[in-house]
Amino acid sequence: MSFNPLEQRGIPLDRQLRSWRELNVQPIDPDRCDPYTRCRIIAMNGIEVEAILFSHQLARNTVDPEVKRQLARTRYIEAQQQKVVNWLLPGVSSVLETTIAYEQVAVDLTAWVARMEPDPYLKQAYQFGVLEDFDHLYRYANLYEMIEHRKAESIVDDLTEVMPGRPTKYHHRDPYDNVRDPYDKSGTNPLSKLHALTIMAAEQQTMNFYMNTGPTYMEPIARQLYQEIGLIEEEHVTHYESLVDPGETWWEQLVNHEYNECYLYYSFMEQESDPKVKAIWELHLNMELEHLHTACDMMRRHDGREPQEVLAPELPNVLTFEPNKQYLRELLDTQMDLTTLGAGYVREAHERFEKMQEQIHGGEQPPSERVMVQHDEMFGREYRVQTEGEHPDPAMREK
């Protein structure tokens, strides 16, 4: 089915403001919800946070007060959308439970995008990153059992496997090697632009979440693990944001942001199993259509170009949350030992990588290793969910 957001009209902007009563949404049940409903909430929150932050940056770089006011109007509505979406998460969840759900988002969203990405260089960037998110899920899952005596499968529900990915200790690379080459805005498939924006926003939200919630823990190993993985999220944001062509004008970027929000709300509306949440995706899609038209008008006015020149003629296939177990197992089998060198990838540890490793670890085991030791001391085993058999890499099988 084809859906072209440029040809649809939504709710007029001056009728989009919601009252406290409308903002007061009923949260999902953390133990009985569809795990992918929670994933869609977390992913969409990241998208709205990026929309707000991008608009603030644009406003700070805008001289014309009338344009600032126009941006402020749309942005206030986006701030309300963020409140509605993120407030679907229940207060009864612990930070660690939400963290495990964040990692499930990172794994299944990035894996799906890697599968669908048409550009081989960009595809490699997602394949590389997803094996790191996969390992973070495994480390947090072990921490979760230690602190709360609960298993991560009660959150990810066997949709996502939990076992080692590329070991977290090897994610600490020299920042020089975290910068990738960008796609070319005029030559690339429009879908690639949406993918890059989506994964960048999701990783940015994860970075923000860990940097703010990590210190709320009292257990030393929890505090330290959040610090370590929080720093890797900094690397991931660097990695993904550098894929976006910096030659896109501010207005072009604004249009891409709004178009991506239409794409994702439409995608999530199409697959949502919870009717109350589905109604929110539908409402927000109808709001975003107007935000997109406003952004398109700004692009025409300030850039003197038609938005159709940079956008897809219709929405691509819906972005889908679904299990990616076999795909991840293929990557585990073939890409575990990769690291980055400049804007590319190598299998050998190079000088800059080794120097960074030496400095940051300081001759000690990092928190991501110590959490496994402490878990083993407590339970005499590690925690994994391997629904599809043994780990593809023999070196990573449980001893």
Partner 1 sequence: MPETHTPQAGDDRAADNDVVALLMRQHGDIRNLFDEVEQSRGEERRDAFRRLVRLLAVHETAEEEVVHPFARRALPGGEQVVEDRLAEERAAKETLAALDELDTDDPKFMLQLMKLRKDVQEHARAEERYEFTHIRRSTDADGLATLAKAVKAAEAMAPTRPHPGVESAKANVALGPVAALVDRTKDAVRKAMDKD
Decide if 292 contacts 194 (C-beta within 8 A): no
Query: Given the complex with partner 1, which of 6 and 152 has the nearer CB atom?
Result: 152
Q: Shortest distance, CB of residue 27 to partner 1, whole angstroms?
A: 12
What are phi and psi for residue 385, nearest 5 degrees? -125, 105
Q: Shortest distance, CB of residue 5 to partner 1, whole angstroms?
A: 40
Among 94, 124, 213, 335, binds partner 1 (CB under 8 A): 94
- Contact call for residue 98 and partner 1 (CB under 8 A): no
Among 184, 219, 306, 314, binds partner 1 (CB under 8 A): 219
Dihedral over Cα of 302, 304, 308, 310: its sign: negative
Look up residue 345 and give its DSSP letter. Answer: E
Cα 244 from Cα 185, distance rounded (Å):
8
Query: Given the complex with partner 1, which of 99 and 204 has the nearer CB atom?
Result: 99
Query: Given the complex with partner 1, which of 22 and 219 has the nearer CB atom?
Result: 219
Segment interacting with partner 1, rule: CB under 8 A, options 123-131, 244-252, 292-300, 382-390: 382-390
Q: How far is CA 305 from the centre of its chain?
A: 31
Q: E strand or H helix at 340, and its extent? A: strand 339-341
The pair of structure tokens assigned to 61 is 């770089």
93: nearest Cα among 137, 163, 35: 35
Query: Given the complex with partner 1, which of 62 and 94 has the nearer CB atom?
Result: 94
| 162 CB-near residues (< 8 Å, 6+ apart) | 137, 138, 141, 152, 153, 156, 383, 384, 385, 386
Question: Inter-axis angle of helices 35-60 and 95-116, to 10 degrees?
Answer: 80
Segment interacting with partner 1, rule: CB under 8 A, options 7-15, 260-268, 269-277, 372-380: 372-380
Q: Shortest distance, CB of residue 336 to partner 1, whole angstroms?
A: 21
3-state secondary structure (DSSP) of residue 301: helix
Among 62, 86, 124, 154, binds partner 1 (CB under 8 A): 154
Burial of 310 (0-12, 13-18, 19+ CB in 10 A): buried
The pair of structure tokens assigned to 198 is 């989506």
Number of residues that bind partner 1 (CB under 8 A): 22
- Contact call for residue 362 and partner 1 (CB under 8 A): no
- Contact call for residue 150 and partner 1 (CB under 8 A): yes
- Contact call for residue 383 and partner 1 (CB under 8 A): yes
Q: Shortest distance, CB of residue 95 to partner 1, whole angstroms?
A: 11
Cα 198 from Cα 75, distance rounded (Å):
18
Query: Given the complex with partner 1, which of 63 and 395 has the nearer CB atom?
Result: 395
Q: Shortest distance, CB of residue 381 to partner 1, whole angstroms?
A: 6
- Contact call for residue 148 and partner 1 (CB under 8 A): yes
Decide if 274 contacts 33 (C-beta within 8 A): yes
117: nearest Cα among 180, 192, 201: 192
Query: Given the complex with partner 1, which of 148 and 306 has the nearer CB atom?
Result: 148
- Contact call for residue 147 and partner 1 (CB under 8 A): yes
Q: Shortest distance, CB of residue 374 to partner 1, whole angstroms?
A: 9
- Contact call for residue 380 and partner 1 (CB under 8 A): yes
Cα 152 from Cα 247, distance rounded (Å):
42
Q: E strand or H helix at 137, and its extent? A: helix 120-148
244: nearest Cα among 178, 193, 316, 186: 193
Segment interacting with partner 1, rule: CB under 8 A, options 292-300, 321-329, 343-351, 379-387: 379-387
Alpha-carbon Rg for the chain, nearest whole angstrom, is: 21
- Contact call for residue 377 and partner 1 (CB under 8 A): yes
Q: Shortest distance, CB of residue 156 to partner 1, whole angstroms?
A: 14
Q: Shortest distance, CB of residue 212 to partner 1, whole angstroms?
A: 16
Q: Which of residues 8-37 bind partner 1 (CB under 8 A)?
A: 31
Query: Given the complex with partner 1, which of 21 and 399 has the nearer CB atom?
Result: 399
Q: Shortest distance, CB of residue 225 to partner 1, whole angstroms?
A: 16
- Contact call for residue 91 and partner 1 (CB under 8 A): yes
Cα 190 from Cα 184, distance rounded (Å):
11
Binding site for partner 1 (CB under 8 A): 31, 91-92, 94, 145, 147-151, 154, 218-219, 377-381, 383-384, 386, 398
